[in-house]
Amino acid sequence: MRASPFEVPWSDYTPALIDGLQRTVAFTVVSFAGAAILGLVVALLRLSPTRLVRLPAAVYTEVFKNVPLLAIIFLTYFGLASAGIRLDVFTAGCLSLVVFYAAYLSEIFRSAISGVHAGQTEAGEALGLGKVGIFGHIILPQALRQALPGTNTMLVDLLKSTSLLVTVSAAELMSEGRLITSATFRALEVYLVISAIYFALCYPLSQLLLLLERKVRAGVPLSPWRRRRVRAARELLAGDMTTDVRVKEAAV
């Protein structure tokens, strides 16, 4: 009689899976935050009018876009250790993900910033704003709106790429799955469950990001500060319209 494909005592391994899930989320949050900051810095360097600044940023982008993430993980964890620089697994994993995804995010940010019409900068100068003010109040908000689709895709992709850290035993979700497989010899069942957990993470996240993108494109204010300003503007417009109607009625 053939054995059932579902015989792993999952109740025994639930704590390990929860720990691996938390580790995966921690890798994702820390790495994406670092990659977004570094990517924005690299994008600004690539937009600099100074060639000596643009060239290193361009080299960085092209190198890390054309080297596999797995090779970067090995270089960061094993390569640096052989050179006397020993990093713990979490630091090495986050650093690998940061430098890899920062290269792609820098291209997304650079394209979005370049896509803002030059007339916006001229309008800011006409209002007396400096370069920092123009970038922070005019260019960046519009660029972030344009960069959302690509940035959202990179976030979901980074979450899935944390599974490659299994190669350095990072104790994330895929590493826990490998340990359960070694203990139970039920590879099909274990990796089906691990895949289902990744799907349960990635699909809702992608849908939430898509909803956020739609709200931003529709001009829906997301922050309380922004909502207060929009409400105040609507009240002001409504007051002006009421005044105009009264003036017209009085004239008649």
Task: Reply yes or no on whether the pLDDT at 246 is more than 70.
Answer: no
**Per-residue pLDDT reduced to its tens digit, 100-134:** 999 999 999 999 988 887 777 777 777 777 777 77
Angle (nearest 5°) at CA 166 between 165 and 171? 90
DSSP state of 50: -
Q: How many CB atoms lie within 10 A of CB 63?
A: 12
In this structure, of 58-62, 86-90, 224-228, the range with the lowest mean pLDDT score is 224-228
Give the residue with greater pLDDT, 12 vs 238.
12
User: Which alpha helices (H) appear in 162-223, and where do they start and end?
Assistant: 173-184, 187-217
Whole-number pLDDT of residue 130: 78
Whole-number pLDDT of residue 233: 64
Distance (Å) of CA 61 to CA 42, 65, 78, 85, 105: 8, 6, 23, 24, 10
What integer is the mean pLDDT of 159-170? 93
Whole-number pLDDT of residue 241: 60
Whole-number pLDDT of residue 225: 65
Q: What is the mean pLDDT of the chain?
A: 86
Whole-number pLDDT of residue 7: 78
Alpha-carbon distance of 79 to 176, in angstroms, equals 24
What's the pTM?
Answer: 0.84
**Per-residue pLDDT reduced to its tens digit, 186-245:** 899 999 999 999 999 999 999 999 998 888 877 766 566 666 766 776 777 776 566 655
Alpha-carbon distance of 221 to 61, in angstroms, equals 33
% residues pLDDT > 90 (the chain): 58
Whole-number pLDDT of residue 242: 60
| Confidence band for 139, pLDDT divided at 50, 70 and 90 | confident
Burial of 40 (0-12, 13-18, 19+ CB in 10 A): buried
Give the residue with greater pLDDT, 123 vs 60.
60
Whole-number pLDDT of residue 124: 76
Task: Reply yes or no on whether the pLDDT at 1 is more than 80.
Answer: no
**Per-residue pLDDT reduced to its tens digit, 32-57:** 999 999 999 999 999 988 899 999 99
